[in-house]
């Protein structure tokens, strides 16, 4: 909470009263952000990873294929940046989807 006091100059009115305007402003702080990372492995099929990126991260096929290849070549990639709750939900969705399909795909989050 920030209070701004506006200083009044002069000696006040005939009673000697000095008035002040006090503005109270609630600072809207931006929430901390978290990177969601997708990790490479040797077994998850490329098409499955592409499907994950389309389904849970709203990418089109070309974007998803490009990011999948980045993970495949470099070992990992940031696939999105979200608030804590949304990042956690994405990680859970990906991990559940991979487990249901019996793929070892790993997805994690870290503070930006």
By the criterion CB under 6 A, which residues form the site for ligand TYC?
A: 38-42, 44-46, 49, 68, 71-72, 105
Rounded Cα gap, residues 55 and 104, in angstroms: 18
* CB of 44 or CB of 109, closer to ligand TYC: 44
* CB of 47 or CB of 85, closer to ligand TYC: 47
Residue 94 contacts residue 56 (beta carbons within 8 Å): yes
* CB of 82 or CB of 94, closer to ligand TYC: 94
State the nearest-atom distance from the C-beta of 51 to ligand TYC, in Å: 11
CA distances from 57 to 16, 17, 67, 109 (A): 65, 61, 11, 14
Which residue is at the shortest CB distance from ligand TYC? 71
State the nearest-atom distance from the C-beta of 75 to ligand TYC, in Å: 9
* CB of 29 or CB of 81, closer to ligand TYC: 81
Q: b/e per residue, 9-36, with b = 16+ CB within 10 A? A: eeeeeeeeeeeeeeeeeeeeeeeeebbb
């Amino acid at each position: 909470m920030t209070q701004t006091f506006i200083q009044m100059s002069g000696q006040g009115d005939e009673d000697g009263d000095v008035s002040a305007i006090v503005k109270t402003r609630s600072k809207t702080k931006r929430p901390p952000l978290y990177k969601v990372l997708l990790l490479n492995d040797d077994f998850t099929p490329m098409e499955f990873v592409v499907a994950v990126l389309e389904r849970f991260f709203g990418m089109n096929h070309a974007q998803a294929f490009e990011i999948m290849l980045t993970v495949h070549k470099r070992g990992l990639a940031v696939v999105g940046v979200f608030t804590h709750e949304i990042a956690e939900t994405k990680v859970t969705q990906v991990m559940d989807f991979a487990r249901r399909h019996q793929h070892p795909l790993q997805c994690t989050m870290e503070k930006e």
